[in-house]
């Protein structure tokens, strides 16, 4: 079946699904009307979203009215309070949406989507990630991977370095790079009000891999103390990456704190390399594209997943995703969510690049535009324990304190006990709010 045929077939399924719901769909498949969407995308990402939605609009006659904002949570809450919510919210983070779901301000999707198709085409963890208190309220369409180590394969080859398969291999490689006079790691944590989050990515990836999903879930839910042995161990493990006095990191703490996260990989591509490894999410390739000269995927950079810290939690990965929530139940909004769940819709953005990884398992690995994105998609397919970004799931006050704590730790690791004690105090108040 050709691509166009598959696309038209999928659209027919969507249209039939809407007809079954008793909407005003005509015999031609036209629904008409508009879906108001609130999201964060602009520029190239908005162009790709428009490309995804064009076949939907062509087939159903439903127009997409997209409002972009980087202050999504407060804007959404204001609209809901005013009685004028968007039909669909496309949210990169779901902390605020969990609060809204528990307040009954978002629509449960269990009887709005074809759950038999969703169960067949989605991994169970991706469906469970969309549930709040047992109800499906969020549909994921594309994923981003955290816990990825970027490197220059030419620099590795020149030194005879091998990609580590285990955590012990990673520690051995780190030691060898230092003994060769190099710096193992590039780290950059500046991002204005959100500075520190790249450091927290390290901690959450280690918590999940080292102590497992039960501890991870209790932790972001506010039921696991920051001073507990498991969470403290994750911080000290990150400290072993940074090294005594941040000696494993190019530029030390001052460089880490002052350098914008998107520029953190620049050191990989200098000659000689200023640093050899850079831990960042799959989206970082869009920042690589802005470097001068522009590095080439597969030639100038490659990637491997952070090795398992504890083999009993093998295959654990922290994930983030593009999530859609229905905040007003309309036939057009139902049709749009059904369409976004299809492989055909997700495939459009995958083929356009930009680090998007389809959630629908029917999207072929051959559709990814380069070897790097294809390998990341394979990691998602192979993920055995998937958990959403813990920081994004925490209340905003807890998340901000977590970011600040990462900056403090990078500057002085000896203050870990007091840093964790302060986070325990914040945990008491942050989770007390409704």
**Model pLDDT for residues 333-365, shown as the tens digit of each residue:** 999 999 999 999 999 999 987 778 899 989 998
> Are 273 and 155 within 8 A, CB to CB?
yes
- Arithmetic mean of pLDDT over the chain: 88
Name every residue whose Cβ is closer than 8 Å to that of residue 321 and which is 6 or more positions away in sequence. Answer: 92, 126, 129, 140, 141, 142, 143, 144, 359, 388
> Are 145 and 319 within 8 A, CB to CB?
yes
The beta strand positions in 105-250, using DSSP E, are 131-132, 135-136, 139-145, 148-151, 185-186
Tell me the C-alpha distance between 157 and 169, whole Å: 16
70: pLDDT confidence band, cut at 50, 70 and 90? low
> Are 38 and 69 within 8 A, CB to CB?
yes
Any idea what DSSP says for residue 141?
E
Q: What value does the CA radius of gyration of the chain take, rounded to a whole number of Å?
A: 22
What's residue 353's pLDDT? Answer: 77
Q: Which residue has the higher pLDDT, 384 or 196?
A: 196
218: pLDDT confidence band, cut at 50, 70 and 90? very high
Asked if residue 6 has pLDDT above 70, the reply is no
What's residue 354's pLDDT? Answer: 72
Average pLDDT for 107-123: 95
Report H helices in 327-415: 331-340, 343-352, 371-382, 390-393, 396-411
Helix and strand numbers, DSSP H then E, in the chain: 19, 13
Cα dist from 289 to 284, 353, 412, whole Å: 9, 12, 33
The beta strand positions in 250-341, using DSSP E, are 277-280, 302-305, 316-326
Average pLDDT for 176-196: 94
What's residue 53's pLDDT? Answer: 97
Average pLDDT for 387-399: 86
Tell me the C-alpha distance between 105 and 84, whole Å: 12
Asked if residue 381 has pLDDT above 90, the reply is no
Can you give the pTM of this predicted structure? 0.77
Asked if residue 213 has pLDDT above 90, the reply is yes
Q: Give the model confidence (pLDDT) of 294-331 as tens digits.
A: 999 889 999 999 999 999 999 888 988 888 999 999 99
Average pLDDT for 17-22: 37
Q: Give the model confidence (pLDDT) of 405-417 as tens digits.
A: 999 999 999 999 9
- Is the alpha carbon torsion for 203, 200, 303, 258 positive or negative? negative
Tell me the C-alpha distance between 212 and 318, whole Å: 11
Average pLDDT for 36-54: 89
Tell me the C-alpha distance between 50 and 37, whole Å: 12
Asked if residue 91 has pLDDT above 70, the reply is no
Strand-pair partners of 39: 68
What does the CA dihedral 172, 173, 175, 181 come to, rounded to 10 degrees?
160
Asked if residue 71 has pLDDT above 90, the reply is no
87: pLDDT confidence band, cut at 50, 70 and 90? very high
For tokens 């945990």, the residue is: 427
190: pLDDT confidence band, cut at 50, 70 and 90? very high
> Are 246 and 230 within 8 A, CB to CB?
no
> Are 232 and 421 within 8 A, CB to CB?
no
């Amino acid at each position: 079946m050709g691509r166009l045929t598959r696309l038209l077939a999928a659209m027919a399924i969507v249209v039939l699904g809407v007809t079954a719901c008793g909407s005003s769909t005509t015999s031609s498949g036209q629904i008409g009307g508009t879906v108001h969407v609130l999201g964060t995308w602009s520029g190239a990402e908005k162009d790709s979203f428009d490309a995804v939605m064009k076949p939907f609009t062509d087939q159903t006659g439903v127009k997409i009215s997209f409002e972009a904002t980087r202050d999504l949570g407060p804007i959404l809450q204001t609209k809901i309070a005013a009685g004028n919510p968007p039909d669909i919210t496309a949210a990169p983070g779901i902390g605020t949406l969990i609060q809204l779901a528990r307040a009954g301000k978002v629509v449960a999707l269990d009887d709005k989507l074809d759950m038999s198709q969703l169960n067949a085409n989605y991994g169970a963890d991706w469906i469970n990630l969309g549930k709040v208190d047992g109800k499906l309220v969020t549909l994921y369409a594309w994923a981003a991977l955290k816990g990825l180590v970027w490197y220059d394969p030419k620099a590795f080859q020149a030194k005879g370095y091998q990609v580590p398969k285990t955590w012990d291999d990673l520690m051995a490689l780190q030691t060898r790079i230092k003994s060769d006079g190099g710096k193992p790691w590039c780290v950059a944590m500046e991002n204005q009000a959100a500075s520190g989050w790249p450091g927290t990515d390290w901690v959450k990836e280690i918590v999940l891999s080292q102590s497992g999903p039960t501890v991870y879930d209790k932790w972001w839910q506010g039921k696991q103390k920051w001073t507990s042995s498991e969470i403290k161990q994750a911080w000290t493990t990150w400290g072993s990456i940074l090294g005594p006095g941040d000696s494993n990191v190019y530029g030390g703490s001052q460089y880490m704190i002052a350098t914008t996260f998107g520029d953190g990989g620049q050191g990989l591509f200098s000659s000689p390399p200023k640093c050899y490894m850079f831990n960042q999410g799959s989206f970082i390739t869009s920042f690589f594209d802005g470097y001068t000269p522009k590095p080439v995927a597969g030639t100038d950079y490659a990637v491997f997943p952070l090795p398992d810290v504890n083999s009993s939690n093998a295959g654990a990965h922290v994930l983030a995703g593009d999530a859609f929530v229905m905040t007003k139940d309309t036939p057009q909004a139902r049709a749009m969510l059904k369409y976004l769940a299809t492989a055909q819709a997700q495939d459009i953005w995958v083929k356009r690049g930009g680090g998007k990884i389809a959630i629908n398992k029917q999207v072929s690995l051959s559709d990814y535009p380069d070897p790097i994105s294809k390998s990341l998609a394979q990691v998602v397919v192979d993920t055995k324990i998937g958990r959403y970004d813990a920081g994004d799931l925490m209340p905003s006050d807890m998340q901000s304190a977590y970011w600040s704590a990462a900056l403090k730790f990078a500057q002085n690791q000896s203050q870990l006990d007091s840093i964790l004690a302060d986070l325990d105090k914040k945990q008491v108040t942050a989770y007390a709010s409704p």
